[in-house]
Amino acid sequence: MLNDIVMAEQEKMKKTIAKLKEDFSTLKAGRANPTMLDRIEIECYGSMMPVNQMANVSAPEPRVLLIQPWDKSSLKEIEKAIQKSDLGINPSNDGSVIRLIVPELTEETRKNLVKNVKKIAEEAKVAIRNIRRGCNDKIKAVKKNSEVSEDEIKKSEDLIQKKTDSFIKEIDKLIEEKEKEIMSV
């Protein structure tokens, strides 16, 4: 029973890490990456859709993204959505494709990106700790009903703490990797 609680909470922690990796992949780091556009959505056929579901997005060169819409009539909407986004890149539309030239990052921009990375990572750490707290609350509820022994309770609390520590270390490692990627010229 306690094992099930810990395993369920561990799954939530894994999802938090996956979300963090996804968030990191959408941050621009001076080179073109098709995942940069994953957060940009366009209204199409009455619903919001991400760019990658409306067009083929590729990086033919290190600092160029090429967007080829499957429906040429959506070209203007894609262009407008990119201009409104927080990417800070001006799209170039030639009538059939959109080109995005990712500018070189200045030292100041790199430092701001690193700050943003740390902020996003801190939010993930808080989420992990909240999951741990929720798990401990569930364990305490089981303890109140005295359905299991004190040793099992202690063992489960130690296990969830070890899991929390390992996920926090993984987040720290991800921060370090992303910071290195951003700061490398």
Express each pLDDT in 38-51 by its tens digit. Answer: 788 888 777 888 88
116 and 172 assigned to the same domain? yes
**DSSP-assigned beta bridge partners for residue 58:** 66
CATH number for the domain harbouring residue 130: 1.10.132.20
Q: Which of 175, 180, 181, 179 is nearest to 20 (CA)?
A: 175
Q: How far is CA 123 from CA 20, 139, 162, in A?
A: 9, 24, 20
Which pLDDT band holds residue 30 (cuts at 50, 70, 90)?
low
CATH number for the domain harbouring residue 82: 3.30.1360.40
Residue reference for tokens 């010229």: 185
112 and 178 assigned to the same domain? yes
What pLDDT is attached to residue 128? 94
- The chain-wide mean pLDDT, for the chain, equals 85
Check whether 4 has a pLDDT greater than 70.
yes
Domain that holds residue 90: 34-101
Which pLDDT band holds residue 32 (cuts at 50, 70, 90)?
confident
**DSSP-assigned beta bridge partners for residue 67:** 57, 98
Boundary-marking domain end, from 82, 101, 120: 101
- Residues 4-19: what's their mean pLDDT? 90
Quote the CA–CA distance of 112 and 115 in Å, as a whole number.
Answer: 5
Express each pLDDT in 81-135 by its tens digit. Answer: 888 877 777 888 888 888 888 877 778 878 888 888 899 999 999 999 999 999 9
18 and 42 assigned to the same domain? no
Query: What tokens does 159 get?
Result: 């296990």
Q: How many domains does the chain have?
A: 2
CB 55: neighbour CB atoms within 10 A? 22
21 and 110 assigned to the same domain? yes
Q: Which residues contact 121 (CB under 8 A, 6 or more apart)?
A: 20, 171, 172, 174, 175
What pLDDT is attached to residue 16? 93
Check whether 166 has a pLDDT greater than 90.
yes
Q: Which residues contact 49 (CB under 8 A, 6 or more apart)?
A: 41, 42, 43
Which pLDDT band holds residue 182 (cuts at 50, 70, 90)?
confident
Percent of the chain, pLDDT > 70?
Answer: 98
Q: Pairing relation of β-strands 91-93 and 98-101?
A: antiparallel
83 and 144 assigned to the same domain? no
Q: Which residue has the higher pLDDT, 50 or 170?
A: 170
| Phi and psi at residue 50, to the nearest 5° | -70, 155
Check whether 29 has a pLDDT greater than 80.
no
What pLDDT is attached to residue 126? 95
Question: For the whole prediction, is pTM greater than 0.85?
Answer: no
Check whether 78 has a pLDDT greater than 80.
yes
Boundary-marking domain end, from 101, 126, 152: 101
| Structure letter (DSSP) for residue 54 | T
96 and 138 assigned to the same domain? no
